[in-house]
Amino acid sequence: MADIDLENMELEDFDPEDVMAARQKLLEMLDSENIGEAEKEQLRALLSGNMPLFAAYGGWSGVLLALGLALIVFSIIFFFGYKLYKSIKDKELKKEEKKKAKQMKKKK
């Protein structure tokens, strides 16, 4: 396998055979390392292309994305709900003030 200069690499220079050879070499090296079996299986799946890249990090990126979207949606709903509640309360307050003013006029 030839050394690859990643900084000066052009798209035309990309050779899929080099990538496959590098993956095979990494898989062979993986067997000689002293790490847990679960980690070895995750790395094997990642190197063989059977696992998306973000899943190698425990899948937290998807969870954080879902939590972020849920927070945004909740904030929007809360904002408009609060505005609606405030508007309804203001209308009721004005209605009561109008009623009181009308009663005061009747008493005079």
Per-residue DSSP letters for 27-76? HHHHHHS---HHHHHHHHHHHHT-S-GGGGGTTHHHHHHHHHHHHHHHHH
Q: What is the mean pLDDT of the chain?
A: 78
- CB-CB contact of 27 with 47 (8 Å): yes
Per-residue confidence band for 78, with pLDDT thresholds at 50, 70 and 90: very high
pLDDT digits (tens, 9 = 90+) for 25-71: 777 777 777 777 777 777 777 766 665 555 445 556 778 888 999 99
Cα–Cα distance for residue pair 17/42, rounded to 1 Å:
23
Q: How far is CA 97 from CA 85, 86, 106, 108, in A?
A: 18, 16, 14, 17
